[in-house]
């Protein structure tokens, strides 16, 4: 009996900015299945020889044209059913910027935009994978940092 599961490693990049006292997050609209047309964080597979952090930085640039100066690790997301294609484990990273540069969609992204976090959380069906959960976790960290 084979008990080994084919696991794929991915990394996601969350970039936040404040506009009129509202958090906005950089999102891409997926070009391919699964979840074609839905919003997701820039992210993707970890290439051979790459760290999760390097993959997040690379994917951010490939899918949005933006480069982050530095990101912090948010958490590891490894629920077995988080991706319909199979077992995917992702490490999510986040950062904030005061200068939200206009993104340019590339690679797997059909579109890239800064979206209000409140709108995304009110419309969880528009978000791919478990990214609503990841967004909620990141928002909790951002909010706790604001109150310090």
Reported as a single tens digit per residue, the pLDDT across 105-130 is 987 899 999 999 999 999 999 999 99
pTM: 0.94
Q: What are the C-alpha distances in Å from 20 to residues 9, 24, 27, 98, 130? A: 36, 10, 19, 12, 27
Q: Is residue 148 part of a domain?
A: no
Q: Quote the number of domains for the chain.
A: 1
Residue-range definition of the domain harbouring residue 49: 7-143
Reported as a single tens digit per residue, the pLDDT across 30-89 is 999 999 999 999 999 999 999 999 999 999 999 999 998 899 999 999 999 999 999 999
Name every residue whose Cβ is closer than 8 Å to that of residue 87 and which is 6 or more positions away in sequence: 5, 6, 7, 8, 80
Q: In CATH, what number is assigned to the domain containing residue 23?
A: 3.90.79.10
Q: Is residue 2 part of a domain?
A: no
């Amino acid at each position: 009996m084979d008990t080994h599961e084919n696991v794929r490693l991915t990394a996601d990049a969350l970039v936040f900015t404040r506009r009129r006292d509202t958090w906005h997050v950089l999102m891409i609209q997926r070009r391919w299945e699964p979840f074609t047309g839905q919003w997701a964080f820039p992210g993707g597979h970890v290439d051979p020889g790459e760290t999760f952090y390097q993959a997040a930085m690379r994917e951010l640039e490939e899918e949005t044209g933006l480069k982050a100066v530095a990101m912090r690790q948010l958490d590891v997301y490894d629920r077995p059913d988080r991706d319909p294609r199979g077992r995917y484990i992702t490490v999510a990273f986040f950062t904030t910027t005061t200068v939200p540069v206009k993104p340019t969609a590339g690679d797997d992204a059909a579109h890239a935009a800064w979206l209000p976090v409140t709108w995304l959380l009110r419309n969880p069906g528009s978000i791919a994978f478990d990214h609503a959960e990841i967004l909620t976790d990141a928002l909790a960290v951002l909010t706790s940092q604001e109150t310090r």
